[in-house]
Chain A
Amino acid sequence: MVSRVLVVAALALVVVLPGCPGRKKAPGAAGQGAGLEERGIDTAGSLERFKAGEKLSGDSGPLKDVHFAFDSYELDEEARAILRENANWLQDNSREKVEIEGHCDERGTVEYNLALGAKRARAVKDYLVSLGIAADRMTTISYGEELPLCTEHTEECWAKNRRAHFVLLGD
């Protein structure tokens, strides 16, 4: 899969940035080129990154991760607010398809966590459908506790790992 570039300010520009998400200002931002913003879009899923030996990405793209309480797939108010923003982006970019990854922290049973991750991804998809995003634009996959963002054994780390993560699949 090839990373792609989101073009803002109506300038078409294609740059290949393999595994290199993040923002940067385009050259000459202060002069004639002012007004152009450029950033990579993460189109590599967590498994793909893991297999390539790359760092897993959190909130790198336009769609933000949402987080969950331990052993829960409930979307709290903060998660729903993030998903409303994500839904807006998906409405503005109506050709984009996404994969929603469900993840868990390391605590508990591998098999149960795989099923819990599936529930998390599904809860996110269902909420986005309720906001008007077509179900066929979204797929889900669970990675359970297998692909943590953060590997320390602390509550702070676990909270980061209990997430639903979005991967843009293109159109």
Chain B
Amino acid sequence: MKAVGKWWFVAGTILFLAQDLGAQVRGTIFGPGSRSYPIAVSPLRNLSDGAVGRELGTRFADILERDLVISGYFRLIDRSAHIEQPDTSGTEAENINFDSWAVLGALGLVKGTFRLEGDIVTVEAKLFDVAQRRQLVGRRYRGPVDLVRRMAHRFADETILQFTGERGPFDSRIAFVSNRDGRFKEVYTMSLDGGDLQQVTKAQSITVSPSWSPDVRYLLYTSYKKGNPDLFLLDTLSGRELVLSGRSGLNLGGRFSPDGSTIAMTLEEGANSEIVLLDRSGDLIQKLTDHWAIDVSPSWSPDGRQIAFCSNRSGTPQIYVMNADGTGVRRITYEGDYNTAPAWSPKGDRIAFVRRYEGGFNIFTMRPDGSDVKQLTQAAGNNEDPSWSPDGRYILFSSNRSGRKKLYVMDAAGINQVQLTHGGGDDTSPAWSRWLD
């Protein structure tokens, strides 16, 4: 198995070229679904000797543009319309022809440079306010050439921060289950834009319900690799995998607590499923539920004090919330006869879930007390498996709206639904990590 350790060391190499020049544009009133802010992304200018690695500047721009489109905040100015060309124009506020961008309708502009030396690339990327003719922010990234993709994601997050006051979600990883390479269901990881796809399990069996540790180093998943549905822990740095809980019956849906110290999991006891708390070595700390009914799918509140879960103790599956010690259980969904898969937003203010409604499955959100229910998907296949972005502004989900089950992302209001995966097989159970740093 290929270790994915390369994701973790770019953070230390980032230099700050400019800071907080963008304060005056923050607070602009527009939402992720508005696609309202016109921005141009110019490919990076090549400062390397000769034509080595020429395409890197374009690749950076392509990835950045894709992220900005997915974010829903921006309208990209078509690159073929650009008047200033990267290799014949400046990348400083003093020598950029802002008028040539203003006539295209751009309000924002990204320009920059890269220099490739051996396998190491240095990228300088800058965001400009076209009308004010000034730099809002600049970043220098340096690292192995295969980290260019991550540099672009980080600059996308930075750009979103400048315009919204909150960092974007793109410097992160997604884990999901797919049978794209045959009949077996394996866990894969990728960037939100589909880049750097890696198959991380080779169980040649059924594997379900991946989730990340808060430090984005470990993955939990349930696999029938050894016959029984056991909970596995995979260290994505070393590639080492171990059975964290191999108790007879279901060891399902492990979820790290927000501080990473404990794991909530569904355990089968006498063919009845209960939610239990394990320590990091898999030992049982305590049972959190004790009921004859089905109790599954724990989801931690971001402060670690509460857990949402799904139970059919009322006769049909409904969402409940309990304190993290199992006390204070309260039901929060009452409408409909099938409410499952709770996912607590990292901001804490909403819980996403799946509701069966008029025969189809759709994603809804509500406040943690069950009020203010909003339907996010409708009239487009079955939509399931909600997972929040690290910034709490987006929801990743699976849908069969185009045939096979594929991954999609939308903002937390359900606007700007973008298909992320394509091709053969079914992609399901996406788990969005926290930020990589």
Q: Are A and B subunits of one complex?
A: yes
B253-273: CB near A (< 8 Å → 1, else 0) gives: 100000000000010101111
A125 within 8 A of B: yes
CA distance A81 to B12 in the complex (A): 68
B window 19-48: CB within 8 A of A: none
Residues in A with CB closer than 8 Å to B229 are 114, 141-142
CA distance A71 to B354 in the complex (A): 15
A139 CB → nearest B CB, Å: 9
B window 287-327: CB within 8 A of A: 294-297, 310, 312, 316-317
B162 within 8 A of A: no
| Partner-binding segment picked from B49-57, B83-91, B153-161, B201-209 | B201-209
B102 CB → nearest A CB, Å: 50
B183 within 8 A of A: yes
Residues in A with CB closer than 8 Å to B266 are 111, 115
Task: Report yes or no: B250 in contact with A114, Cβ–Cβ below 8 A.
Answer: yes
B361 within 8 A of A: yes
Task: Report yes or no: B183 in contact with A142, Cβ–Cβ below 8 A.
Answer: no
A3 within 8 A of B: no
Residues in A with CB closer than 8 Å to B224 are 47, 143, 146
A window 80-137: CB within 8 A of B: 107-112, 114-116, 118-119, 121-122, 125
CA distance A71 to B266 in the complex (A): 19
Task: Report yes or no: A141 in contact with B228, Cβ–Cβ below 8 A.
Answer: yes
| Residue in A closest to B205 when the chains form the complex, CB atoms | A51
A53 within 8 A of B: yes
Task: Report yes or no: B338 in contact with A71, Cβ–Cβ below 8 A.
Answer: yes
CA distance A143 to B185 in the complex (A): 13
Task: Report yes or no: B384 in contact with A109, Cβ–Cβ below 8 A.
Answer: yes
Residues in A with CB closer than 8 Å to B82 are none
Known: A47-B206, A50-B183, A142-B229. A109 touches B271 (CB 8 A): no
Residues in A with CB closer than 8 Å to B273 are 115, 118
Contact of B252 among A51, A115, A122, A141 (CB under 8 A): A115
Residues in B with CB closer than 8 Å to A53 are 183
Residues in A with CB closer than 8 Å to B428 are 110
A52 CB → nearest B CB, Å: 10
Residues in B with CB closer than 8 Å to A144 are 208
Task: Report yes or no: B310 in contact with A112, Cβ–Cβ below 8 A.
Answer: yes
| Number of B residues, CB within 8 Å of A | 42
B227 within 8 A of A: yes
| Residue in B closest to A142 when the chains form the complex, CB atoms | B250
Task: Report yes or no: A109 in contact with B252, Cβ–Cβ below 8 A.
Answer: no
Residues in B with CB closer than 8 Å to A51 are 184, 204-205
| Residue in B closest to A53 when the chains form the complex, CB atoms | B183
B214 CB → nearest A CB, Å: 21
A159 within 8 A of B: no
Residues in A with CB closer than 8 Å to B296 are 111-112, 114-115
Residues in B with CB closer than 8 Å to A143 are 206, 224
Interface centre among A111, A140, A143 (most CB of B within 10 A): A111
B255 CB → nearest A CB, Å: 11
CA distance A47 to B310 in the complex (A): 27
Task: Report yes or no: B252 in contact with A140, Cβ–Cβ below 8 A.
Answer: no
B66 within 8 A of A: no
Residues in A with CB closer than 8 Å to B294 are 112, 115-116, 119
In the assembled complex, 17 residue pairs joining A and B whose CB atoms fall closer than 8 Å, in A order, are A47-B205, A71-B316, A71-B337, A110-B208, A110-B429, A111-B266, A111-B296, A111-B340, A112-B294, A112-B296, A112-B297, A114-B208, A114-B250, A118-B271, A121-B271, A140-B249, A144-B208
Q: Give A residues with C-beta under 8 Å from B.
A: 47, 50-51, 53, 71, 107-112, 114-116, 118-119, 121-122, 125, 140-144, 146-147
Q: Give B residues with C-beta under 8 Å from A.
A: 183-185, 204-206, 208-209, 224, 227-229, 249-250, 252-253, 266, 268, 270-273, 294-297, 310, 312, 316-317, 337-338, 340-341, 354, 356, 361, 382, 384-385, 428-429
